[in-house]
Amino acid sequence: MEDLLRLANKNYKSRLIVGTGKYKDFRETQKAIEISGAEIVTVAVRRVNITDPNKENLLDYLDPKKYTILPNTAGCYTADDAIRTCRLAREAGVGNMVKLEVIGDEKTLFPDIPATLEAARTLVKEGFVVLPYVTDDPVTAKKLQEMGCAAVMPLAAPIGSGLGIRNPYNIRIILEQATVPVIVDAGVGTASDAAIAMEMGCDGVLMNTAIAGARDPILMAEAMKLAVEAGRKAFLAGRVVKKLYATASSPLDGILG
Amino acid sequence: MIVHINGEKKEIAADLSLAQLLQELGIHPGRVVVELNRAVIARGSYDTTFLKEGDNIEIVHFVGGG
């Protein structure tokens, strides 16, 4: 049976979700996303520059028929602003799935948990498919899944930090109790970080800076695709138990006397 | 009359529809979403939405983001 990521009644072959920020230009964005194999891409909602509106549009480079566009609420510091942003995004006609993030602190970009819960509750009620960015807190993750979020997205480390999974034990607890997909969102730095998340049994990984900020974003996009696939396969295969002492791989019988 | 568009004061003709405003600004309506006084305006009703003095208009689109 094919191993697919099921999100809000839709199946995805790729378990890598990528952002579209920080690239040199839209052409590089397009190429990196294509190489990454991602089928879901995040975008931000921002004011049009009304004095120079004819600049190229991101969606000219990302066909919404080919990709699931996942608008985020990045930059929102209150539940109201996040809800407002989601309502606007929905009117753009790319579906009703949103990446909810309500930021609580400028320096760490950690989420404001009470505001995230408040916004999630309203958005679920309004029929949105809500994918919330949260700290690696099992209690919050549980509350979000119980209120009807389609996934929970605990951070590995602060957004853009590249530190990798800082608290694998909390992620394990979140996974153990999960009734919805768990997608590690933010803080991944390199391929092994993504592979570790997948080996632990996470359902997906969401990243932006790790690819866009690499010296060669296109090559890193490929590395991440392979890392997520390798990690997933290793998880499904079931790793050997760690032991302190050696176990020989070659037969002990028939050794020359 | 004076309205606010994306936080900036703008002088526009009276009785302008939203569709006309977008046209005047040179904005392709298919790539943006508009909010008028905090309410999202359905894309199909730009022609029948008329602006009045003091309106707050937000015109947004998708940009690169994580």
- Mean pLDDT over A214-222 rounds to 98
Residue A34's pLDDT is: 98
Confidence of residue A80 (pLDDT cuts 50, 70, 90): very high
CA-nearest residue to B43 within chain A is: A91
Q: Which residues pair with A205 in a beta bridge?
A: A16, A184
Tell me the Ramachandran region of residue A223: left when phi exceeds 0, alpha when psi lies from -120 to 50, beta otherwise: alpha
What are the structure tokens assigned to A42, written together? Answer: 């995040």
Interface test with B, best of A18, A20, A22, A50 (most B CBs within 10 A): A50
Residue A52's pLDDT is: 83
pLDDT, averaged across chain A: 96
- Mean pLDDT over A19-41 rounds to 97
Q: Which residues pair with B40 in a beta bridge?
A: B35
What are the structure tokens assigned to A2, written together? Answer: 């094919």
Q: Report CA A98 to chain centroid distance, whole Å.
A: 12
Can you count the helices (H) and strands (E) in chain A? Answer: 8, 10
Residue A196's pLDDT is: 98
Cβ contacts from A onto B, under 8 A: 102
- Mean pLDDT over A209-218 rounds to 98
Tell whether B19 is within 8 A of chain A (Cβ).
Answer: no
The answer to whether the CB atoms of A46 and B33 lie below 8 A apart is no
Question: Would the pLDDT of A17 be above 90?
Answer: yes
Question: Would the pLDDT of A1 be above 90?
Answer: no
DSSP sequence for B3-62: EEETTEEEE--TT-BHHHHHHHHT--GGG-EEEETTEEEPGGGSTT-B--TT-EEEEEEE
What is the least distance, in Å, from the CA of A245 to any CA of chain B? 44
- Mean pLDDT over A235-242 rounds to 96
CA-closest candidate to residue A15, choices A245, A222, A232: A232
CA-nearest residue to A133 within chain B is: B66
> Which is it for the CA torsion A230, A233, A237, A241, positive or negative?
positive
Give the predicted TM-score (pTM) of the model. 0.94
Residue type, A1: M
| CA atoms of A86 and A71, how far apart (whole Å) | 8
Residues of A annotated as catalytic (active site), given as ranges: 99
Mark out chain A residues that contact chain B at CB-CB < 8 A: 19-23, 26, 29, 42-48, 50, 53-54, 57-59, 69, 71-72, 74, 84, 87-94, 159-160, 186, 206-209
Between the alpha carbon of residue A20 and those of residues A61, A123, B18, the distances in Å are 11, 24, 30
The answer to whether the CB atoms of A186 and B42 lie below 8 A apart is no
Residue range A88-135, pLDDT digits in tens: 999 999 999 999 999 999 999 999 999 999 999 999 999 999 999 999
- Collect contacts of A29-35 with beta carbons under 8 A, ≥24 apart: A29/A58, A29/A61, A29/A62, A29/A212, A29/B64, A30/A61, A30/A62, A31/A218, A31/A221, A32/A211, A32/A212, A32/A217, A32/A218, A32/A220, A32/A221, A33/A62, A33/A67, A33/A221, A35/A218, A35/A221, A35/A222, A35/A225
Phi, psi torsion values for B43, nearest 5 degrees: -60, -30
Q: Select the residue of A48, A74, A160 nearest B27 (Cβ to Cβ).
A: A48
What are the structure tokens assigned to A118, written together? Answer: 């408040």
Residue A72's pLDDT is: 98
pLDDT cut 70: percent of chain A above it = 100
- Mean pLDDT over A227-233 rounds to 98
Interface predicted TM-score of the whole assembly (ipTM), two decimals: 0.96
Helix, strand, or coil (residue A49): coil
CA-closest candidate to residue A130, choices A150, A154, A155, A101: A150
What are the structure tokens assigned to B55, written together? Answer: 């309106």
- Mean pLDDT over A204-209 rounds to 98
DSSP sequence for A154-183: E-SSSTT-----S-HHHHHHHHHH-SS-BE
Q: Select the residue of B33, B41, B65 nearest A20 (Cβ to Cβ).
A: B65
Question: Which residues, 6+ apart, have CB-to-CB distance to A243 below 8 Å?
Answer: none
| CA atoms of A17 and A23, how far apart (whole Å) | 16
User: In chain B, what residues touch A19 (CB-CB under 8 Å)?
Assistant: 64-66
Residue range B3-52, pLDDT digits in tens: 999 999 999 999 899 999 999 999 999 889 999 999 999 999 999 999 99
For chain B, give the number of residues: 66
Q: Select the residue of A22, A87, A89 nearest B64 (Cβ to Cβ).
A: A22
Q: Select the residue of B28, B40, B65 nearest A43 (Cβ to Cβ).
A: B65
Between the alpha carbon of residue A237 and those of residues A5, A86, A201, the distances in Å are 17, 39, 11
Tell whether B42 is within 8 A of chain A (Cβ).
Answer: yes
